[in-house]
Structure 1
């Protein structure tokens, strides 16, 4: 079964890991429409599936956003848990300054 398959039978948890930079999230399928992420054993957030929309929440259950695929939703949680680099932050500030 692929890690993006949301049609798994209930009661059959799947586990996969996503490693992006230094942030490693372990994923488990808690229910047919709920995926839970942990980072070094600590709760990091979750993704719920509502028809074809994947809704991401952080470790405080704050909504991060909605995404069309499970892969995009997982990446959004990784991005939210991984602080931006100084270089990326400087670039973001320059871009925003040009828009003013």
Structure 2
């Protein structure tokens, strides 16, 4: 398994994510480092912990999370990487409150 850097530098600054709602939140930073494991496999880590991978199948980039669950297929490597960033982003407080209310109604 080689560790060839791709165009996304592993020493690049953290990607700062904008909050999804107008509600006050602490700033969230997702810091994914990418390594090319093979010609068609790119592996991501978040602060040293495995975060997922992107595999290239024909002309499609398939994203898997840290539990190897398929997230989706994307036409470009950049779009696939962004999908993994979005999947590793913690849910907003507003979305969590909504989820709890929905679950309480089902009881």
Normalised by the length of structure 2, the TM-score is 0.66
Q: Report the equivalent of 1:67.
A: 74
Q: Is residue 93 of structure 2 the alignment partner of residue 86 of structure 1?
A: yes
Query: Aligned in 2, Cα 1:46/1:20: closer, same or farther, shift over 3 Å?
Result: farther
**Residues 8-64 of structure 1: CA distance to partner in whole angstroms, max 9, x if unpaired?**
xx9561152462421110000111100000000000000000111000000000000
Q: Report the equivalent of 1:52.
A: 59
For the residue of structure 2 that corresponds to 1:48, the secondary structure is: strand
Q: Report the equivalent of 1:19.
A: 15
Higher share in strand:
1
Where do 5+ consecutive residues of structure 2 fail to align?
18-28, 100-107
Structure of larger gyration radius? 2
Question: Aligned-pair RMSD on alpha carbons?
Answer: 2.4
Question: What is the CA–CA distance in structure 2 between the aligned matches of 1:20 and 1:36, rounded to whole Å?
Answer: 20
Where do 5+ consecutive residues of structure 1 fail to align?
1-9, 94-100
Question: What is the CA–CA distance in structure 2 between the aligned matches of 1:23 and 1:32, rounded to whole Å?
Answer: 25
Q: Report the equivalent of 1:35.
A: 42
**Structure 1 residue ranges (4+ consecutive) displaced by more than 3 angstroms after TM superposition:** none
